[in-house]
Structure 1
Amino acid sequence: MPRFDLPLAELEAYRPTVSEPRDFDDFWAATLAGSREAGGEVTVSAASDLFSAVHVHDVTFPGFGGEPVKAWLILPTHREGPLPAVVEFIGYGGGRGLPSERLSWAAAGYASFIMDTRGQGSVWGSGGETPDPHGSGPAVPGFLTRGIDSPETYYYRRVFTDAVRAIDAVRGLPEIDERRVAVCGGSQGGGIALAAAGLSDGLVAVMPDVPFLCHFERAVGLTGSDPYQEVVRYLSVHRGAEDQVFETLSYFDGVAFARRATAPALFSVGLLDPVCPPSTVYAAFNAYAGSDKAITVYPFNEHEGGLGHQWQAQAAFLARLLRSDARDEVSA
């Protein structure tokens, strides 16, 4: 893939005007309050006897509207006291898969919580188990245009609420130190992590890897790749719907959530990425409100980014933060 976006020096200074609705905060406050008021129980049950170094638990927690959402909770077998936790969100079309595919964070000594993405899990990987019980108006195959005629009905309203409620659920588990919860994810998972960071207080770290769902207006006009092309195909049929579509998307733009997020953050970007163009990632990174932020740049990589190299960077980043936090507690 040849370079098609801005040069790196321009990316580092790229701070576009990204539209944001006046009632953005009220919309999300009402959405989250309604889902919390809907209640619902968190259930945790042992899920596998295949592992000796970790304990795997099948979790169901209340998400949007109190609707049940599945997750894995993976804990190191040998642990003392409550653990810091990493809540992980999944890329587009994938589900929580199998626990054997997600052992890295538990192997590093963390409680690992992997959220299933409602309605997804049948495009790649080992599947998902959380339905999305909501219908949709006309939409292009995929998820990006489901319910796009209104922010109230838009698919990602439910997904982002699920993510916040996942953090709520994790903080309530006895094995978890509620003060030390981080979020991460790649592509769609990175966009969900940004939304969760903008809507949740007190996170210890945010790690969006090649994040999707950022700076929609530029992405839709710049890349010829899916999933953003789903919006192009929708608008090519629903002529004249552009204003309403981008009005809806403005409630879900990662740039708006980045403006509200303050936890220490480590982003990543592939400068040849045709799926999540570099300028859309930098739009969110440069808008990010937290002062402790960094971005790992992969000059010759596409949407795969750094893969295992980025996980190592995240693990080092999170370990540094927790060491610093521990020193602060001792000095206090």
Structure 2
Amino acid sequence: MDIHTGAGDVRVGSIAINKSRVALRDLQLPHTANVEVESTKYPLGQDPARTSIRRYIDRENRFILLFDALSLAYIDGTLFRDDGLADGGKSFLRYLRPHPLLAGVTDEKGTFKSRQRVFDADSTFGTIEAAIAEGDEVLVCDDLGDEWADFIGLNNTSSPPRITFYHAKHGNLSLGAGPFHISVSQAIKNLQRMSLPAEAMAAKIRGWKKNYVNGGVKTSIPRVSRGNSDELAREFERARSAPDAVRRVFIVTSSLSRGAVERALADIAAGRAPDPYFVQLYWLLLSFFSACTEMNALGYIVCQE
């Protein structure tokens, strides 16, 4: 089955629909012709097993296939069915949490100086620390390195206890899937880390006791922004061993408006033709929510109003 562009009806590739999966057989986009994917274990250009972008996309199932029927989508190698688009997306909207401070965000992490003690207030990082994670008794910045999330929060005295992974993003407002591909992929990849594996915690805690470093700038921002750094091992063990702990994953972004999503869903429910880019966004986020559910976690998008 050939793939054609919407404008000009130019053939740019093909797919094969097999019994167990859809395969990307051909991809002929000019700007990807010489693009290859390598492992980060090797210096650039020296991976003997590097592969073309087409082979990588096919092998990793990194594409979304939409159908005329809005209730169906093929994402990450799995066929999904959901009738939420047609009925106004009421269940979908429950996973979108608006926060007013995100309207003033201008950067994901902000800028850094050597004596700086807090993240910029107009950054996504600063907003998470100041407001979105306000219910956490323990909050650590896990950005960079062997990153599980940008921030990890604990509340061991709530009933039930809570473990929250925060993934921070910033960008221009959009109703397309593009701004979310990386953040959704990162969030799903790290779902298994929400068990807080005991064998990994000692190294993690050593790193959290150091101040934040970014781009060669050694700041005075403590990675432990809330809680006692000497009690981290005990607090994380309490959370890890709590049988009723609620695990939450928040993608926090300034690039999405809940109101805009609500209006787009209302237009579709009213019978108007949907924007295919919005349909991609809907299914991408739905795959994130579903992946969280499969790992006994709750996924949310914290966005602009």
Q: Which structure shows the bigger proportion of residues in strand conformation? A: 2
Flag the structure with more relative contact order, 1 or 2, with Cα contacts below 8 A and sequence separation at least 6.
2
Give me the TM-score of the superposition, normalised by structure 1. Answer: 0.24
Give me the TM-score of the superposition, normalised by structure 2. Answer: 0.26
